[in-house]
Each structure stands twice: as structure tokens, then as C-alpha cells.
Structure 1
Amino acid sequence: MSASTHVQKPGWFTVNVMNRAVAWLTRRGLSVWGSRVLAVRGRKSGAWRTTPVNLLTVDGEQYLLAPRGHVQWTHNMRAAGGGQLRLGKRVEEFTAVEVEDDEKVPLLRAYLKRWKAEVGVFFNGVGPDSPDADLRRIAPDHPVFRITVTG
């Protein structure tokens, strides 16, 4: 994919308040703007790791995009090749294929249109109305996975 090692670590408020609140609501079946709890096996431990994510749907396909860059769940996803999306008691198993940088422009644009207020700060001034060249420039910094629900 890309050689980028771009990571933006979340601050205390995001980790201890926002992520926990979204995960709590999502575990109870209340999706916040498409939120799910992603569960993926750790690449070293094999233990399930969970984090709240935004599920993006474009042209009938579903994607997970990492606004903060190459974070732990993206490394684990590459190793595991899939995981689970949880919403309340509903658990969907899925496989995942990483999207090439050249294919990310419309996905980044769609993600930013939907969640710019929430995650825009992680895209270095690039927004949903930015030129394609700007979106392509930041594509290596933001892993994207096309997911296919298997059960």
C-alpha cells in the first residue's frame, strides 16, 4: 500500500470521553452517525481489540477509513484480514481488503463530507471540497479498507 507512518494520537478527551461515550451508545444499539464498534484480533496477542469507527457506504460498498492514520487497528486489520462490526447485540463478521491510494480520492471526499466536523482536524486542512490532487496527496496517510460482510 503506502510507506506512510502518519499517526495522530487522540487526546485525553477523545480517548476518555468521546470514544467511550460513542462506544457505550453503539454497544447499546444506538449508532451515532454510522458508528460501529470495530473488533479485530491483535496481530501479536490474538486478543480481540475494539475501537469505535465510522462505517462509510459509497455506491453500495462499505468502507472503514482511518482518519488518524496508521493506527493500531489498521495494523491489526492488515494482519487479520477482517473482523467484526458491532452495533448493540448485532455482530457482523467481515473480510477486509485495503484500498490502493489511487482509489481513495472519492472515498476520502465522501468521508469528509459526512464527518468533517468530527474528524476534519486530522486531514491537514484538506476538506470535502478540496481538489482531487489534495485528496490524493493525503491518501497515503489514511488507510481505507473495503469490507465485505460474511455473516
Structure 2
Amino acid sequence: MTTSRASHYRRPGLPTLLLNRIVRWVNGRGIGLAGSRTLAVRGRTSGEWRTTPVNPLEFDGRRYLVSPRGHSQWVRNMRAAGGGELRLGRKAEAFTAVEVPDADKRELLRAYLRRWQWEVGAFFDGVGPDSSDEELLRIASSHPVFRITPSR
């Protein structure tokens, strides 16, 4: 991880908090809105499960989690726990996670924005799927990415 912008985080406003509750409720009933899932990861201090809605990305046969808001609590917990669960209804898929270095994020961020810009584009400082490689690399340190692999 590059630490130059490691403190970057955009706190969710009330509309986002309400939307997250709705998405979590819908996911809990087995419906993944536009592919969303509920991420569950153990708290780095409490050890208790913490949950938040996420938009998993499938790219070149692998799965990733991208933090559009930056270095959030789930990111910090994931770094400490090294994995978690993606939940949808009664199904929970356990996984391990490895953080992707900033230099390797360019095409992942491009693919993520291609798929999810309509929902999260406001958090990427005007950078979109058609932005230059340099612009994507410029914001890479502000958006942690984890490659996730199912636990067996």
C-alpha cells in the first residue's frame, strides 16, 4: 500500500446511510441489487462481525473488492483480518483477501468504474472508466482494492 493518501476517506451522508440499510436488508432476503453483497468482516479490535454493502468486481476470472470511499473501517478491518464473508440471504461465502498494490490497480479501477460509476463515481474525483492511465494511477492510493479468494 502506498501511504501518500492512506488517510483519504469520504464519510457517508444520511442518504447513503439509509440506502446502505435498505441494500443490507434486501441482501439479507437473498436479493443482490445489481450484484451487491453484504460484506462481513471481523472488527480489528472487538472481533465482532461488522457488515456493509459492497459491489464485488469480477475481472479476468478473479474477484475483487474496491473501496470507493477510501480507507474506511471495513478496509482497516480487512487488513487486520485477512478475509471475511460475502453474504446474500442465508448464503455466506468465506474468503481470504490480499490487498492489491497501487501500481497494479489501474485496470481494476477502470473495470470497477465501468461497472459501478453510476453509483460510486462521485467518490473518484472526476476520474472515470475512460480516464487516462495516469489519472487512474493518481487516485489508486485513495481506493484500496482486495483480491478475494474463496476459502475451502
Other-structure match for 1:21: 22
Query: Letter of the aligned partner of 2:32 in structure 1?
Result: S
Aligned Cα RMSD in Å? 0.7
- Retained in 2: the 8 A contact 1:34–1:56? no
Query: Letter of the aligned partner of 1:51 in structure 2?
Result: T
Query: Letter of the aligned partner of 1:136 in structure 2?
Result: L
Q: TM-score, normalised by structure 1?
A: 0.98
**Is residue 2:143 matched to residue 1:147?**
no
- Retained in 2: the 8 A contact 1:105–1:135? yes
**Structure 1 alignment gaps of length 5 or more:** none
Other-structure match for 1:48: 49
Matches within 5 A, 1:1-151: 1-3=1-3, 4-15=6-17, 17-151=18-152
Q: TM-score, normalised by structure 2?
A: 0.97
Question: Within 2, Cα distance between the matches of 1:106 and 1:131?
Answer: 11
- Runs of 4+ in structure 1 over 2 Å off: none
Question: Within 1, Cα distance between the matches of 2:97 and 2:140?
Answer: 18
Q: Spell out, residue by residue over 1:71-113, the C-alpha distance to the aligned partner (whole angstroms, 9 max, x if none).
A: 0000000000000110111100000000000110001001100
Query: Letter of the aligned partner of 1:2 in structure 2?
Result: T
Question: Within 2, Cα distance between the matches of 1:2 and 1:29?
Answer: 37
Question: Within 1, Cα distance between the matches of 2:148 and 2:127?
Answer: 25
- 1:33 to partner: Cα distance: 1.4
> What SS class does the counterpart of residue 33 from structure 1 fall into?
helix
**Structure 2 alignment gaps of length 5 or more:** none
> What SS class does the counterpart of residue 134 from structure 1 fall into?
helix
- Retained in 2: the 8 A contact 1:105–1:136? yes
User: How many residues are treated as equivalent by the alignment?
Assistant: 150
Question: Within 1, Cα distance between the matches of 2:150 and 2:88?
Answer: 14
The percentage of counterpart residues that share the same residue type is: 61
Question: Within 1, Cα distance between the matches of 2:55 and 2:124?
Answer: 16
